[in-house]
Amino acid sequence: MKDYFWNKIPLEYFFLVIGLFFGMKLVFINPPWQTNDEDRHFYNSWYYANGYFKPDSRGKKIGNPMPTKLLQTVQGFQGIPFNDQSKISKQTLENLKEVIYDESDTVFYSNPNYSTNPVGYIPNIIGVKLGEFYKKNPIIVQWWSRAFGLFVYLIIVFFAIRITPVYKNVLMLVTLAPMSLYQAASVTYDTLCNAATFLIMALIIKWLLQKEKITTREVSLFCLAFVMQVFSKAAYFFIPFLILMIPSEKFSFSYPKIKFVALSVAIIMLPKFTWAAYINSFHFQGGTPFQNDFLFNPSQNLAFHLKNISGMISDLLANVLTQGKDWITGCIGRFGYSYTPLPESLVFVYVIVLFGMASIDHDGSVKLKPMQRGISALVLLVSLGALIVGLYLSFSPVGASVMFGVQGRYFIPILPLLLFQLFGTIPNNAKKYLPLITILITILILYKTVSFIDETFYSVN
């Protein structure tokens, strides 16, 4: 099979080169603080990088001091509508690269996200610190922060693709999908969460197919990825339960599944009993609400909908039908704070490629048992259901029928599991061409993405 050059070099190296090239392009071409919530993630990263682990309260405000010039520069990039009349000038960026912020001139920033734990920001925090050593300029520090998030993402996913014996092409197509790479090249905790979830998925596939016993070292790595995932974003904690697909006798140690379930629950609760407990110990009153024009309260919302469960189910289905296409688009490529989607045709083709590849990227010798397929489908349904219902209850106003604020990018960590349902469904006699197809399609879509972002967000002058 290894007749062609793309088969001689392992796919993960192609992933690394393509990811690094286009990822770094996105770091610089994506206008400053234009990824969803990137401004607020950057504030948190800056705070932690500068030792502000304890929020302070001043009157009703909860937050910490921040250099005035830093805050002003970030805020200057918010709320740009991005149309033909309103774009960012590259010359303005050049001019802003001369701004130096000074820690002695600060303002108290009331931080609506003061309770977010620092674990998900670790790569971005390192980037901020190193960027500040280089130059205390808001834009340059933000680039360093983005770049470090990207490096960590690429390294983790590199190992994920390396360790999975099959499904490498699917994993590469998912992890280098425009939105996945765009997120990775931004300041956000999604980077670490997505990478950790992909690693978990890769470990499960490896264990499913390997003949050797699973070592405690491998399980420790799995638990570490699980911890990283729940600390970064506690929304995908059902995915690690895929481990229940692995027969107990495959482990090199005694493995009662009930003990794993107990361990998983403990890991899921870790952020609550560590960082959240630390923040709660300050008994802060007040704080700036993020959105206040509607009441957002998950328990009140649940109580409201429980009065009419059939209505809630019908609303949820109607939301999937009315917003589903936007979610798919958002999962593949929707950029900027102004939610600018990639052209529909590109997204559609990429979705077809993903599903096609998921059906044919397999080793014909491996067959999943019905029980394993059942567990995988169950974990997928529970993960999707929990995510959609969770967003419906927490991101939508009390009593609303229409779901608010659901973005396709939230489905990225679940995408490999969704595609895994197609594993081994179509026989494939041309496996040697799959890496070439993957490499070419990835390069093509990322090339189009970079051009699209450049044309959309920047003015000619």
Partner 1 sequence: MIIWFKPYNVNLNDPWFEGAILINSARNVTDTNQRKVLLDKAGKILGEQVRKHPYHARVHYIYGVYWFNRQNWDSAIFQQKEAIRLGAGGTVNEVEYVAQEMLNAALSNKVSPLINTGNLKEAASVLENAKTPEMFNKVIDKYKGIIFSRQGNADSALFCYLRYKASDPNDADNLANIAISYSQKNMRDSARVYVNQALKLDPKNANANLINSQLNRQ
Q: Which is nearer to partner 1, 255 or 348 (CB)?
A: 348
Please say whether the beta carbons of 309 and 389 come within 8 A. Answer: no
Read off the tokens for 288: 């700036």
As a whole number of angstroms, the longest Cα–Cα distance in the chain is 70
d(Cα 299, Cα 279) in Å, to the nearest integer?
21
- Write down the least CB distance from residue 113 to partner 1, Å: 10
Q: Which is nearer to partner 1, 345 or 429 (CB)?
A: 345
Read off the tokens for 16: 């690394």
Neighbours of 367 (CB within 10 A): 11
d(Cα 8, Cα 11) in Å, to the nearest integer?
9
d(Cα 297, Cα 393) in Å, to the nearest integer?
7
Q: Which is nearer to partner 1, 252 or 322 (CB)?
A: 322
Angle between helix 298-306 and 309-332 (nearest 10) = 130
Q: Which is nearer to partner 1, 55 or 112 (CB)?
A: 112
- Write down the least CB distance from residue 362 to partner 1, Å: 23
Q: Which is nearer to partner 1, 10 or 397 (CB)?
A: 397
- Write down the least CB distance from residue 422 to partner 1, Å: 14
- Write down the least CB distance from residue 295 to partner 1, Å: 4
Cα distances from 394 to residues 61, 212, 215, in angstroms, run 23, 44, 39
Q: Which is nearer to partner 1, 137 or 359 (CB)?
A: 359
Question: Where along the sequence are the contacts to partner 1 (CB under 8 A)?
Answer: 112, 288-295, 315, 318-322, 324-325, 328, 348, 351, 397-402
- Write down the least CB distance from residue 340 to partner 1, Å: 18
d(Cα 183, Cα 150) in Å, to the nearest integer?
9
- Write down the least CB distance from residue 346 to partner 1, Å: 14
d(Cα 175, Cα 155) in Å, to the nearest integer?
12
